[in-house]
Amino acid sequence: MDFSAIVPALPGLAEGMLMTLKLMVMGVLGGVVLGTLLAMMRLSHNPLLAKLAGFYVNYFRSIPLLLVITWFYFAVPFILRAITGEDTPVGAFTSCLVAFVMFEAAYYCEIVRAGIQSISRGQMSAAQALGMSYGQMMRLVILPQAFRKMTPLLLQQSIILFQDTSLVYTVGLMDFLNSARSRGDIIGQPHEFLIFAGLVYFLVSFSASLLVKQLQKRLAV
């Protein structure tokens, strides 16, 4: 085993890590926003909205992420063509981002829904007594408290998303793992580069998990 070739390849690997982090951060933001909307739908008194959101969540939680990435890689160009009527070129990054947002929203939805349901009904009654609308009640009273409680779970799911970004190798996106694998193949040292990539994933994920545990203790009421 010779790891000396990794040091000259670090700039290229850093570019791959930036791609991974960019995909993760944008996927988390989009997933949380969409997941919050889905959670509101699931808790709605409108049975149609609740059933639609429930079907969405159950569907995406029942299929592999790898399959979703492949689907959207081929489906996004057709969807844009149907909307715009033109052949719009779509890169692997955009299709992967859409796949991650759609997939992770199902998991974030359940986290947000549990967070909202953990708030006592007395808070809702007090907000209604003050004359707040449903939107004001959720935005000013319920969601701020709920997000405080579910922040550790949201961050834990984000760590899982960081690990899942490695699946984009199937569509040729040069994330950190794909960069390490390709450079290892070019140099003729695939095992060394894959071991290094695995070590980096472990260090990042394990360190983030420890930070989440510390944050959970600080946010505990």
- 35-78 tens-digit pLDDT: 999 998 998 888 999 999 999 999 999 999 999 998 888 877 77
Distance, in Å, from the CA atom of 52 to the CA atom of 116, rounded to the nearest integer, reads 19
- pLDDT on residue 3: 78
Q: For the whole model, what pTM was predicted?
A: 0.86
Class of domain 20-173: mainly alpha
Using 50, 70 and 90 to split pLDDT, how confident is the model at 88? low
Neighbours of 101 (CB within 10 A): 21
Q: Is the pLDDT of residue 151 over 90?
A: no
Distances (CA, A) of 47 to 37, 40, 42, 51, 134: 15, 12, 9, 6, 17
- What is the pLDDT averaged over residues 148-161? 89
Query: What integer is the mean pLDDT of 74-97?
Result: 77
Higher-confidence position of 82 and 17? 17
**What is the spatial distance between Cα 133 and Cα 52, in angstroms, rounded to a whole number?**
24
If you write DSSP's letter for every residue of 54-98 in order, what string do you get? HHHHHHHTTS-HHHHHHHHHHHHHHHHHHHHSS-----HHHHHHH
